[in-house]
Structure 1
Amino acid sequence: MAVYEKQDMSNTDTPIIGILGWEARKNNALSQLGHLPGDIAHPTTFSFPVLYKRIEGAYHETVIMKPSAKVLRAMIDAAKEMERNAVKAIMTDCGFNAIFQQELANAVDIPVFASSLIQIPLLHLMLKEGQQIGIITAYQEYLTAEHLKKVGVSENIPVCILGLDNTEFSKVRSDSLAIMDVDKFEKEVLSVAKRLVDENREVGAIVLECTDLPPFAATIRRETGLPVFDIVTLAHMVYETIAGDRWGKGKNV
């Protein structure tokens, strides 16, 4: 289904979910991931139309390393504009936007899910007592307790976190890699997932923080035997609640 940039929309386009995104990817290696089905930017990832709005000034430093109040204000303005354009829910293209979840949700009257991490409290209730939720993140050192708190993850919810340090992804982010070896990166992601499970035997489910990881979710699920949740699984669940009509009953409502 189409992924619309705002300037590409016509009056007949009806995006269901809006995506608040980073500035255009200038790194060619990183943009390779956007060509993979399952990536948040790939047109086949969603079975419904979405509206993608790039936020000026939103990038690695202003979202992950030092969350910027200026970027948050720009995201809020964009979210309000999306709501005026009849978008039914809003998500973002980086899991670290969890830090902005409450502010974004309070700014509009439609559902906002800024990060895949918002699923963790639900998973905690789904798992038996003592089981952990494993988180695979782009940057372990920057994913803080405050990020988790902002999406409702209390201290009594057992989580374990492992990052993509020393992988193709980290090299791309540091601009030390011009072309990404995607096959190698998939193996590295799988290695991180296996290590997460091997080092934490009570993991009952895995959440992928990074929105570039859903293309590899099936591989992780197959190799670990665990359910894997990400921003795409969440988006499809939200879509079903706001516009789903599997049995054609909505036509007469």
Structure 2
Amino acid sequence: MAANKSALVVRGGWEGHRPVQATELFIPHLRAHGFDVRVEESTAIYADAEFMDGVDLVLQCVTMSTIEMTEFRGLRAAVERGTGFAGWHGGIADSFRNTSDYLHLVGGQFGCHPGKHPYGVVDDEADNFVPHTITINDAGRVHPITEGIEDFDLVTEQYWVLADEYNTVLATTTQRRRDFDPWHRQVVHPAIWTRDWGQGRIFVCTPGHSLDVLQDSNVKTVIERGLLWASR
């Protein structure tokens, strides 16, 4: 298919989320749907207003890290003018913790991922893998990103997300209250959401810690659809 859209893949930050390997899983999908894909290993490109004006979709996979204010303002201005902004897990929902305006743009911030009982930890990433369900809500059952997808179970990091009511939530996940937890009741968090910003669309999927989760049929479908939905 001849390229008729432009996608920018920006990746980096904490290597534990495998930003290179993870984004490489979805670049063929973008190309197959008519995107010319440019890959950048830093956020510096966001400050190039002329280039950003021609970008239809930004796929970001940058966990934690920092961003210069000129770069963030460039990203935000592009979204306001119609560039889509999309990603998964910490690559979008745990980026640039010190830039509050970025958190406002995305609409949800990773707070923590409660793990196993302290007596069961072995000091590796699996300490944070817990069985949980991604529950598609009423809005999600009719939204093109999640339509036709049933509730599904995962054993991976379950994000406790701090969010606001401006999001259109398509799926949630429930943090149970276990005997050893310090909170007193179960808490429901957004797991998949969209957000309108100016003329642009934002898509966030919180599952996606590791490559096997990204290749789960439900997660993969949601992300592939979300990328196309968010694009200008």
Shorter-chain TM-score bucket reads: 0.3 to 0.5
More strand by share: 2
More helix by share: 1
Instruction: Compute the TM-score of the two structures, normalised by the length of structure 1.
Output: 0.40
